[in-house]
Structure 1
Amino acid sequence: MWRGFDRGGTVTRVFNSAAHVWPDHQAPERSLIFQSTDSAVAAWILLPGQSIASHRHPGGQDTWVVLEGEAEYLMGNGESCILRRGDIAVATAGQIHGAHNHGQVPFLFISLVAPAQAGFELADD
């Protein structure tokens, strides 16, 4: 079973990421685009100053494809790097990852988690 919806609620296989981005000034916004048993695809937007807490998916991989902006990508053990438009970050099962937007513009990326039920655990680092 899979589900994917376009803006009008029609089931589809092709998506426009801009149709799934709704900035929230209170917290980073995650908008589910598509989900099957194999994977979940979501659009994320972090406004300047917003963060995604360091976490891991014990049962699967999380791949981020950066569409706009830049952010500090947190990799655990005090390690980080800057992600920019066009970058792809892969966190395999159990690897810590998170992000902080220190910039002046929104940070927009697509996240692909596989399998969809990969689990979620906050990380200490």
Structure 2
Amino acid sequence: MSKARIFDSSQFFQATDGEPIRSVVTESPDAVVVAWYINPNQKIPPHLHPNGQDTWTIISGKGEYYLDKTGATQPIAAGDVVVAHTGSVHGVLNNGSEPLVFISVVSPATAGYQLVEIEGTNS
């Protein structure tokens, strides 16, 4: 049985006016590879993966990357590789004027997903 090993990531990036779309490129029990296209002022809300790691490779654009439950952020931009270790809060707001485009690898596929409320907010 043959499994694809090379993917044209541009086929998976989807721009939307609402919330960003999580476009799965490929998945196995070991990992899920996702393409993200985040328009200006869109965000991936703060969340964590209780049983795994999420690694982002930023292809283009920039944003403010959530670091913890306090709402602290750090700038990220094209060329960065960003790692959210198991249980680490992360998410991003595209505060730039261009789309933020990146590939995410969540490992293992059973890493789970939990939204995180930023302290002092009701979001």
- Select which of 106, 109, 117 maps to 1:116: 109
1:87-102 superposed matches below 5 A = 87-102=80-95
Runs of at least 5 residues in structure 2 that lack an aligned partner in the other structure: 119-123
Q: Measure the CA separation in 1 of the matches of 2:98 and 2:77.
A: 12
* Residue 4 (structure 1) aligns with: none
Identical-residue share of aligned pairs (%)? 39
Residue 52 of structure 2: aligned partner: 60
Show the 5 A alignment for 1:41-60: 41-60=33-52
Per the alignment, residue 121 of structure 2 pairs with: none
Aligned to 2:13: 21
Deviation at residue 98 of structure 1 after TM alignment: 0.5
Per-residue deviation at 1:80?
1.1
Please give the alpha-carbon distance, in whole angstroms, between the structure 1 residues aligned to 2:105 and 2:5. 15
Tell me whether 1:103 sits opposite 2:93 in the alignment.
no
Distance 1:17 1:70 in 2: 19
CA distance in 2 between partners of 1:38 and 1:117 (Å): 8
TM-score by length of 1: 0.89
How far 1:16 moved relative to its partner?
Answer: 1.4
One-letter code aligned to 2:85:
T
Deviation of residue 29 (structure 1)?
1.7
2:76 aligned residue: 83
**CA deviation profile, 1:13-64 (whole Å, cap 9, x unmatched):** 1011111111111111210001000000000111011011000000000000
The alpha-carbon deviation at position 124 of structure 1 amounts to 1.5
Runs of 4 or more consecutive aligned structure 1 residues displaced over 2 Å after TM superposition: none
Measure the CA separation in 2 of the matches of 1:57 and 1:84: 22
Distance 2:46 2:71 in 1: 11
Distance 1:84 1:52 in 2: 15
More strand by share: 1
